[in-house]
Amino acid sequence: MKKKLFKRCPRCNKRMPTNQPVCEGCGLIFSRMEKVSNRAGKEALKSGETNRVIFDKKLPKDLNKWKLFLLALFLGWIGLQYERVGRKKLFFYQLISFCLIILFAILLSTNVLSSSMFTHKYWGFLCWFMILPASFGLIIWFLSLMQILSNSFKVPVAIDENIVMNDYDRKVASEIITEVKAGQKEKKIINYFKTKKIRVVCKSCGCTDWVDEDDSICPKCDENLEG
């Protein structure tokens, strides 16, 4: 498989070499895209922080491609795939277009409308008013299916503080473990070279105690140990 030589920035769509770490157009640091989530993107859109949001084709870790595809396949005609990722405008458009299809079908089945009314001066406008948005809704549904399959379905993402903190915690934990291991190793080295202790009984004061092997002074009476 031929390696890609160029890539596009997910924020400004500027074309640049694949190995470039920062976008020249908008200043996006590409390594930060590993710490984004759709959940954070939806929260940012909900709170009006649109400057934090990037619409990226690469699905974040909290979205599964095939689950999203099945949702779009079976319930995409009402726009639930867009509601799932937080694209509310397209969700409401899909929902309204579906309602228009249902309304049009009811009017046709009850003979309130007929095919001849499409050319009527007034009724024709009503018919096309329902049909055209509904038709665009079906086209958008089909396109969303193709986009999910071809990995070009854009979802709003933003840097997730939980992911950043978890990575930070893991880094700190790794450093602590390294320090502990280093300390245990140092302790083993010290213990290895440390003088052995022996149990002795002082003949001067009669005390029994543990002293260093090469120690000749009683810790109680400061007299010379004789045995």
The 10s digit of each residue's pLDDT in 151-167 is 999 999 999 988 888 87
The 10s digit of each residue's pLDDT in 2-53 is 567 888 898 888 999 988 889 988 888 888 888 999 999 999 999 999 988 9
Is the C-alpha dihedral spanning 162, 164, 167, 168 positive or negative? negative
**For residues 89-111, average pLDDT:** 85
The confidence band for 142, taking pLDDT boundaries of 50, 70 and 90, is very high
The confidence band for 174, taking pLDDT boundaries of 50, 70 and 90, is confident
Per-residue pLDDT at 189: 53
**For residues 161-189, average pLDDT:** 72
Q: Average pLDDT, whole number, for the chain?
A: 81
The confidence band for 199, taking pLDDT boundaries of 50, 70 and 90, is low
Contact 76/144 with Cβ under 8 angstroms?
yes
Contact 53/41 with Cβ under 8 angstroms?
yes
pLDDT at 101 over 50: yes
pLDDT at 111 over 60: yes
In sequence order, the 6+-apart residues with CB closer than 8 A to the CB of 202 are 208, 209, 218, 220, 221, 223, 225, 226
Per-residue pLDDT at 64: 95
Per-residue pLDDT at 6: 87
Per-residue pLDDT at 60: 93
Residues in the chain: 227
Strand partners, 151: none
Highest mean pLDDT: which range of 34-38, 166-170, 177-181, 221-225: 34-38
Round to whole Å and give the CA distance between 104 and 96: 12
**For residues 50-65, average pLDDT:** 92
126 burial class (0-12, 13-18, 19+ CB within 10 angstroms)? middle
Round to whole Å and give the CA distance between 152 and 143: 10
Per-residue pLDDT at 227: 46
In sequence order, the 6+-apart residues with CB closer than 8 A to the CB of 31 are 21
